[in-house]
Amino acid sequence: MKKIFLFLLPLLLLIACYIITDPFQNILPHDVYLFTYRMLSRGNESTKVYLKNKDRYKYDSFIFGSSRSTAHTASEWAKYLPKGSASFSFGAWNDPIEGIYKRVRLIDSLGSSIKNAFIIIDVDRTFKLQGDLKSSELVADHYLISGISKYDYYINDFLYYIKTPSLIITSLDYTLFHKRRNYMEGFIGMKPGDLDPVNNDWQPNSEKIILVDSAAYYKNSLDKFYQRPAVESIAGVQINKAKEDCLYNIQAIFKKHNTNYKIVIGPLYDQVKFNPKDLAVLEQVFGKSNVYDYSGINEITNNKFNYGADVVHYRKKVGNLIYRQIYR
Protein backbone atom coordinates (compact mmCIF):
# COMPACT_ATOMS: atom_id res chain seq x y z
CA MET A 1 0.00 0.00 0.00
CA LYS A 2 2.88 2.35 0.78
CA LYS A 3 4.47 1.72 -2.63
CA ILE A 4 1.15 2.25 -4.37
CA PHE A 5 0.64 5.50 -2.48
CA LEU A 6 4.13 6.77 -3.37
CA PHE A 7 3.55 5.81 -7.00
CA LEU A 8 0.25 7.71 -7.10
CA LEU A 9 1.46 10.66 -5.02
CA PRO A 10 2.32 12.95 -7.99
CA LEU A 11 -1.12 12.39 -9.50
CA LEU A 12 -2.80 12.92 -6.14
CA LEU A 13 -0.93 16.20 -5.71
CA LEU A 14 -1.99 17.33 -9.18
CA ILE A 15 -5.61 16.48 -8.39
CA ALA A 16 -5.38 18.39 -5.11
CA CYS A 17 -3.89 21.44 -6.88
CA TYR A 18 -6.57 21.25 -9.55
CA ILE A 19 -9.37 21.21 -6.99
CA ILE A 20 -7.87 23.98 -4.87
CA THR A 21 -7.11 26.34 -7.77
CA ASP A 22 -10.14 25.32 -9.87
CA PRO A 23 -8.75 27.02 -13.02
CA PHE A 24 -11.83 26.24 -15.14
CA GLN A 25 -14.30 26.97 -12.31
CA ASN A 26 -15.96 23.59 -12.74
CA ILE A 27 -15.25 22.08 -9.31
CA LEU A 28 -15.98 24.57 -6.56
CA PRO A 29 -19.03 26.85 -6.20
CA HIS A 30 -18.40 30.50 -7.11
CA ASP A 31 -20.30 33.65 -6.26
CA VAL A 32 -19.08 35.20 -9.51
CA TYR A 33 -17.35 33.40 -12.38
CA LEU A 34 -14.42 35.71 -13.07
CA PHE A 35 -11.76 34.87 -15.67
CA THR A 36 -8.50 34.69 -13.73
CA TYR A 37 -5.69 32.54 -15.09
CA ARG A 38 -6.64 32.66 -18.76
CA MET A 39 -9.50 33.42 -21.13
CA LEU A 40 -12.26 30.85 -20.70
CA SER A 41 -15.29 29.97 -22.79
CA ARG A 42 -17.88 32.67 -22.12
CA GLY A 43 -20.56 30.30 -23.36
CA ASN A 44 -19.56 27.78 -20.70
CA GLU A 45 -19.42 30.42 -17.97
CA SER A 46 -22.70 32.01 -19.07
CA THR A 47 -24.44 28.65 -18.87
CA LYS A 48 -23.06 28.01 -15.37
CA VAL A 49 -24.22 31.43 -14.16
CA TYR A 50 -27.64 30.85 -15.68
CA LEU A 51 -28.04 27.38 -14.11
CA LYS A 52 -26.86 28.71 -10.73
CA ASN A 53 -29.22 31.70 -10.65
CA LYS A 54 -32.24 30.83 -12.78
CA ASP A 55 -34.46 29.69 -9.91
CA ARG A 56 -33.49 32.61 -7.72
CA TYR A 57 -33.86 35.44 -10.22
CA LYS A 58 -36.47 33.93 -12.58
CA TYR A 59 -34.85 35.20 -15.78
CA ASP A 60 -37.35 35.73 -18.59
CA SER A 61 -35.44 38.01 -21.01
CA PHE A 62 -32.25 36.97 -22.79
CA ILE A 63 -29.51 38.48 -24.97
CA PHE A 64 -27.87 36.05 -27.39
CA GLY A 65 -24.86 36.37 -29.66
CA SER A 66 -21.08 36.37 -29.92
CA SER A 67 -18.63 38.62 -28.08
CA ARG A 68 -20.25 41.56 -29.92
CA SER A 69 -23.35 40.99 -27.78
CA THR A 70 -21.41 42.26 -24.74
CA ALA A 71 -21.96 45.79 -26.11
CA HIS A 72 -25.65 45.28 -25.36
CA THR A 73 -25.90 45.04 -21.58
CA ALA A 74 -28.81 43.42 -19.82
CA SER A 75 -28.91 46.29 -17.35
CA GLU A 76 -29.47 48.87 -20.13
CA TRP A 77 -31.92 46.63 -21.98
CA ALA A 78 -34.01 46.33 -18.82
CA LYS A 79 -34.94 50.02 -19.17
CA TYR A 80 -36.92 49.18 -22.31
CA LEU A 81 -38.57 45.99 -21.10
CA PRO A 82 -41.89 45.63 -19.26
CA LYS A 83 -41.71 46.31 -15.54
CA GLY A 84 -40.69 43.23 -13.57
CA SER A 85 -38.67 41.64 -16.40
CA ALA A 86 -35.50 39.81 -15.38
CA SER A 87 -32.84 40.13 -18.10
CA PHE A 88 -29.76 37.95 -18.61
CA SER A 89 -26.80 38.19 -21.01
CA PHE A 90 -26.44 34.69 -22.48
CA GLY A 91 -23.63 35.37 -24.96
CA ALA A 92 -20.65 33.24 -26.00
CA TRP A 93 -17.43 33.99 -27.84
CA ASN A 94 -17.83 33.42 -31.61
CA ASP A 95 -21.25 31.88 -31.07
CA PRO A 96 -22.65 30.40 -34.31
CA ILE A 97 -26.37 30.25 -34.96
CA GLU A 98 -26.32 26.62 -33.81
CA GLY A 99 -24.99 27.75 -30.43
CA ILE A 100 -27.69 30.40 -30.10
CA TYR A 101 -30.34 27.81 -30.89
CA LYS A 102 -28.95 25.40 -28.29
CA ARG A 103 -29.10 28.11 -25.60
CA VAL A 104 -32.69 28.95 -26.50
CA ARG A 105 -33.52 25.24 -26.48
CA LEU A 106 -31.86 24.77 -23.07
CA ILE A 107 -33.92 27.55 -21.50
CA ASP A 108 -37.09 26.06 -22.96
CA SER A 109 -36.20 22.52 -21.83
CA LEU A 110 -35.75 23.69 -18.24
CA GLY A 111 -39.23 25.19 -18.18
CA SER A 112 -38.09 28.80 -17.95
CA SER A 113 -40.03 31.59 -19.60
CA ILE A 114 -38.69 33.53 -22.60
CA LYS A 115 -40.75 36.71 -22.66
CA ASN A 116 -38.13 38.81 -24.44
CA ALA A 117 -35.15 37.98 -26.65
CA PHE A 118 -32.45 40.09 -28.29
CA ILE A 119 -30.23 38.33 -30.83
CA ILE A 120 -27.06 39.88 -32.29
CA ILE A 121 -26.10 38.62 -35.75
CA ASP A 122 -22.49 39.03 -36.94
CA VAL A 123 -21.91 39.35 -40.68
CA ASP A 124 -18.54 37.64 -40.29
CA ARG A 125 -19.29 34.94 -37.71
CA THR A 126 -22.85 33.88 -36.95
CA PHE A 127 -23.40 31.91 -40.15
CA LYS A 128 -19.85 31.37 -41.41
CA LEU A 129 -18.88 28.93 -38.66
CA GLN A 130 -19.99 25.38 -39.22
CA GLY A 131 -21.28 25.05 -35.69
CA ASP A 132 -19.76 21.63 -35.04
CA LEU A 133 -17.38 20.75 -32.24
CA LYS A 134 -14.27 21.10 -34.39
CA SER A 135 -14.90 24.52 -35.91
CA SER A 136 -16.32 26.72 -33.16
CA GLU A 137 -16.16 27.52 -29.49
CA LEU A 138 -18.89 24.95 -28.89
CA VAL A 139 -16.13 22.42 -28.18
CA ALA A 140 -15.29 24.32 -24.97
CA ASP A 141 -18.90 24.99 -24.05
CA HIS A 142 -20.98 23.52 -21.28
CA TYR A 143 -21.93 19.88 -21.80
CA LEU A 144 -25.62 20.82 -21.94
CA ILE A 145 -24.78 22.97 -24.98
CA SER A 146 -21.94 21.07 -26.67
CA GLY A 147 -23.62 17.69 -26.36
CA ILE A 148 -20.54 15.88 -25.00
CA SER A 149 -20.93 13.61 -21.99
CA LYS A 150 -20.67 15.01 -18.49
CA TYR A 151 -17.65 12.77 -17.91
CA ASP A 152 -15.81 14.06 -20.98
CA TYR A 153 -16.68 17.62 -19.99
CA TYR A 154 -14.82 17.31 -16.68
CA ILE A 155 -12.02 14.97 -17.73
CA ASN A 156 -11.07 17.07 -20.79
CA ASP A 157 -10.42 20.10 -18.61
CA PHE A 158 -8.33 18.08 -16.16
CA LEU A 159 -6.27 16.48 -18.94
CA TYR A 160 -5.61 19.91 -20.42
CA TYR A 161 -4.55 21.11 -16.97
CA ILE A 162 -1.96 18.37 -16.38
CA LYS A 163 -0.59 18.87 -19.91
CA THR A 164 -0.07 22.61 -19.32
CA PRO A 165 2.68 23.19 -16.70
CA SER A 166 2.42 26.98 -17.06
CA LEU A 167 -1.24 26.85 -16.00
CA ILE A 168 -0.42 24.63 -13.03
CA ILE A 169 2.29 27.00 -11.80
CA THR A 170 0.29 30.17 -12.47
CA SER A 171 -2.91 28.98 -10.82
CA LEU A 172 -1.11 27.64 -7.73
CA ASP A 173 1.10 30.73 -7.36
CA TYR A 174 -1.82 33.15 -7.70
CA THR A 175 -4.06 31.11 -5.38
CA LEU A 176 -1.40 31.20 -2.64
CA PHE A 177 -0.14 34.78 -3.01
CA HIS A 178 -2.81 36.66 -5.05
CA LYS A 179 -0.11 38.48 -6.97
CA ARG A 180 0.33 38.74 -10.72
CA ARG A 181 3.89 38.09 -11.87
CA ASN A 182 5.68 38.83 -15.15
CA TYR A 183 5.92 35.18 -16.19
CA MET A 184 2.12 34.71 -16.13
CA GLU A 185 1.41 34.79 -19.86
CA GLY A 186 -2.24 34.91 -20.85
CA PHE A 187 -3.23 35.97 -17.33
CA ILE A 188 -6.61 37.75 -17.35
CA GLY A 189 -7.01 38.65 -13.70
CA MET A 190 -10.58 39.89 -13.77
CA LYS A 191 -11.67 41.72 -10.64
CA PRO A 192 -15.04 42.10 -8.91
CA GLY A 193 -17.06 44.52 -10.99
CA ASP A 194 -15.70 43.20 -14.30
CA LEU A 195 -18.63 40.79 -14.52
CA ASP A 196 -22.12 41.29 -13.16
CA PRO A 197 -22.86 38.22 -11.00
CA VAL A 198 -26.63 38.48 -11.57
CA ASN A 199 -27.30 39.46 -15.19
CA ASN A 200 -23.86 38.31 -16.51
CA ASP A 201 -22.99 41.63 -18.17
CA TRP A 202 -19.36 41.60 -19.35
CA GLN A 203 -17.29 44.56 -18.08
CA PRO A 204 -20.39 46.71 -17.42
CA ASN A 205 -18.28 49.77 -16.54
CA SER A 206 -16.03 49.73 -19.62
CA GLU A 207 -17.64 52.81 -21.16
CA LYS A 208 -17.02 54.88 -18.04
CA ILE A 209 -13.38 53.80 -18.02
CA ILE A 210 -12.92 54.88 -21.65
CA LEU A 211 -14.52 58.27 -21.03
CA VAL A 212 -12.17 59.01 -18.13
CA ASP A 213 -9.25 59.24 -20.57
CA SER A 214 -10.22 58.26 -24.10
CA ALA A 215 -6.93 59.56 -25.53
CA ALA A 216 -4.94 57.18 -23.36
CA TYR A 217 -7.32 54.34 -24.21
CA TYR A 218 -6.77 54.70 -27.96
CA LYS A 219 -3.14 55.83 -27.83
CA ASN A 220 -1.54 52.50 -28.75
CA SER A 221 -4.26 51.18 -31.04
CA LEU A 222 -4.91 53.87 -33.65
CA ASP A 223 -2.84 51.95 -36.21
CA LYS A 224 -5.36 49.10 -35.98
CA PHE A 225 -8.03 51.25 -37.60
CA TYR A 226 -7.27 50.32 -41.19
CA GLN A 227 -8.54 52.26 -44.21
CA ARG A 228 -11.84 50.91 -45.48
CA PRO A 229 -13.05 50.85 -49.10
CA ALA A 230 -15.13 53.83 -50.19
CA VAL A 231 -17.52 51.50 -52.01
CA GLU A 232 -19.63 49.21 -49.83
CA SER A 233 -18.96 45.50 -50.28
CA ILE A 234 -21.58 42.82 -49.77
CA ALA A 235 -21.01 39.55 -47.94
CA GLY A 236 -21.65 36.32 -49.78
CA VAL A 237 -24.72 34.19 -49.10
CA GLN A 238 -24.21 32.32 -45.84
CA ILE A 239 -27.57 30.87 -44.78
CA ASN A 240 -27.95 27.36 -46.16
CA LYS A 241 -30.81 24.93 -45.55
CA ALA A 242 -29.37 23.64 -42.25
CA LYS A 243 -28.93 27.14 -40.85
CA GLU A 244 -32.36 28.17 -42.06
CA ASP A 245 -33.83 25.19 -40.21
CA CYS A 246 -31.97 26.35 -37.13
CA LEU A 247 -33.57 29.78 -37.44
CA TYR A 248 -37.03 28.24 -37.76
CA ASN A 249 -36.37 26.11 -34.67
CA ILE A 250 -35.54 29.25 -32.71
CA GLN A 251 -38.65 30.99 -34.01
CA ALA A 252 -40.79 27.99 -33.06
CA ILE A 253 -39.63 28.19 -29.44
CA PHE A 254 -40.25 31.95 -29.44
CA LYS A 255 -43.74 31.32 -30.77
CA LYS A 256 -44.33 28.76 -28.01
CA HIS A 257 -43.38 31.35 -25.38
CA ASN A 258 -45.08 34.26 -27.15
CA THR A 259 -41.68 35.97 -27.09
CA ASN A 260 -41.17 39.62 -27.99
CA TYR A 261 -37.93 39.35 -29.98
CA LYS A 262 -35.55 41.62 -31.87
CA ILE A 263 -32.93 40.42 -34.38
CA VAL A 264 -30.05 42.89 -34.87
CA ILE A 265 -27.34 42.64 -37.52
CA GLY A 266 -24.47 44.42 -35.80
CA PRO A 267 -22.50 47.42 -37.14
CA LEU A 268 -18.98 46.10 -37.74
CA TYR A 269 -15.95 48.23 -38.51
CA ASP A 270 -15.21 46.49 -41.82
CA GLN A 271 -18.54 47.92 -43.15
CA VAL A 272 -19.37 44.76 -45.09
CA LYS A 273 -23.08 44.66 -45.85
CA PHE A 274 -25.14 41.62 -44.85
CA ASN A 275 -26.23 39.78 -47.98
CA PRO A 276 -29.77 40.81 -49.11
CA LYS A 277 -30.73 37.17 -49.69
CA ASP A 278 -29.73 36.26 -46.13
CA LEU A 279 -31.58 39.33 -44.85
CA ALA A 280 -34.69 38.16 -46.70
CA VAL A 281 -34.44 34.80 -44.92
CA LEU A 282 -34.22 36.47 -41.50
CA GLU A 283 -37.21 38.67 -42.34
CA GLN A 284 -39.19 35.69 -43.57
CA VAL A 285 -38.49 33.70 -40.41
CA PHE A 286 -38.81 36.43 -37.78
CA GLY A 287 -40.88 39.08 -39.55
CA LYS A 288 -39.55 42.21 -41.25
CA SER A 289 -40.57 44.45 -38.34
CA ASN A 290 -38.36 42.48 -35.95
CA VAL A 291 -35.13 42.55 -37.98
CA TYR A 292 -32.75 45.54 -37.86
CA ASP A 293 -29.77 45.78 -40.20
CA TYR A 294 -26.89 47.99 -39.01
CA SER A 295 -24.28 46.44 -41.29
CA GLY A 296 -22.49 48.25 -44.13
CA ILE A 297 -21.63 51.94 -44.45
CA ASN A 298 -23.70 54.15 -42.15
CA GLU A 299 -23.40 56.83 -39.47
CA ILE A 300 -22.39 54.34 -36.79
CA THR A 301 -19.75 52.45 -38.77
CA ASN A 302 -18.25 55.64 -40.24
CA ASN A 303 -17.12 56.76 -36.77
CA LYS A 304 -14.08 54.71 -35.77
CA PHE A 305 -14.42 55.84 -32.16
CA ASN A 306 -17.60 53.84 -31.92
CA TYR A 307 -15.30 50.81 -31.65
CA GLY A 308 -13.06 49.49 -28.93
CA ALA A 309 -9.27 49.50 -29.05
CA ASP A 310 -9.29 46.10 -30.76
CA VAL A 311 -11.48 47.44 -33.62
CA VAL A 312 -13.33 44.10 -33.68
CA HIS A 313 -15.96 45.09 -31.11
CA TYR A 314 -18.22 48.12 -31.02
CA ARG A 315 -18.58 49.99 -27.76
CA LYS A 316 -21.42 49.89 -25.27
CA LYS A 317 -22.43 53.42 -26.24
CA VAL A 318 -23.32 51.95 -29.65
CA GLY A 319 -25.27 49.14 -28.01
CA ASN A 320 -27.19 51.73 -25.99
CA LEU A 321 -27.87 53.78 -29.14
CA ILE A 322 -29.29 50.73 -30.90
CA TYR A 323 -31.57 50.07 -27.94
CA ARG A 324 -32.88 53.64 -28.13
CA GLN A 325 -33.51 53.45 -31.86
CA ILE A 326 -35.23 50.08 -31.75
CA TYR A 327 -37.42 50.73 -28.73
CA ARG A 328 -38.14 54.42 -29.32
Model confidence pLDDT, tens digit, residues 73-101: 999 999 999 999 999 999 999 999 999 99
- CB 31 within 8 Å of CB 197: yes
**In terms of DSSP H, where are the helices of the chain?**
2-21, 42-57, 74-77, 97-109, 143-146, 150-162, 165-177, 206-212, 214-218, 241-257, 276-286, 299-302, 316-326
Q: What is the pLDDT of residue 152?
A: 93
Sheet with 116-121, strands from edge to edge, namely: 87-89, 61-64, 116-121, 260-265, 291-293
Q: Is the dihedral of CA 213, 214, 215, 216 positive or negative?
A: positive
Give the separation between CA 313 and CA 206, rounded to whole angstroms: 12
pTM beyond 0.95, yes or no: no
CATH 3.40.50 fits 41-147+193-326, yes or no: yes
Annotated domain spans of the chain: 41-147+193-326
Q: What is the pLDDT of residue 137?
A: 58
Q: Residue 260 is inside which H or E element, if any?
A: strand 260-265
- How many other β-carbons are positioned within 10 Å of the β-carbon of residue 278? 21
Helix/strand/coil for 195: strand
Give the separation between CA 326 and CA 328, rounded to whole angstroms: 6
- CA neighbor of 122 nearest in space, from 238, 265, 237: 265
Residues (pLDDT < 70) of the chain are 129-139
Distances (CA, A) of 53 to 30, 34, 199, 237: 11, 16, 9, 39
DSSP symbol at 71: G
Q: What is the pLDDT of residue 132?
A: 44
Q: Which long-range contacts (CB under 8 A, 24 or more apart) does 151-158 make?
A: 153/26, 154/26, 157/24, 157/26, 158/15, 158/18
Q: What is the pLDDT of residues 176-229, one digit of tens each?
A: 999 999 999 889 999 989 999 999 999 999 999 999 999 999 998 999 999 999
- CA neighbor of 126 nearest in space, from 89, 145, 100, 107: 100
Phi–psi pair at 222, nearest 5 degrees: -60, -30
